[in-house]
Amino acid sequence: MTTLTVTARGQVTFRKDVLQHLGIQPGDKIELDLLPDGRGVLRAAQRTGTISGFVGLLAGRTQKIATLEELNAATAQGWAGEE
């Protein structure tokens, strides 16, 4: 068990091994679910993608330029779980 100390400002610092165990990296978010019996469940928040993070993801990896129809077909296959 890991024991943490709360500062006068109400802050807690997690040790590096705890953060690694939870899969949390600098800049990540943490979710805390408070349970009725005074306990809490702590976990790494699910990362959500943004369109700005997606734009340019494949830049420079191919010379092919896809048409809008090809992009729509690829998207539909991905949502359907097809490769």
- Domains contained in the chain, CATH given: 1-47 (2.10.260.10)
Nearest 10 degrees: Cα torsion 44, 48, 54, 55: -120
Question: For residue 12, is pLDDT > 90?
Answer: yes
Predicted pLDDT at 76: 87
Q: Give the pLDDT band of residue 83 (cuts 50, 70, 90).
A: low
pTM tops 0.75, yes or no: no
State yes or no: pLDDT of 7 exceeds 90: yes
Burial of 47 (C-beta count, 10 Å sphere; 0-12/13-18/19+): exposed
Per-residue pLDDT of 27-39, as tens digits, reads 889 999 999 999 9
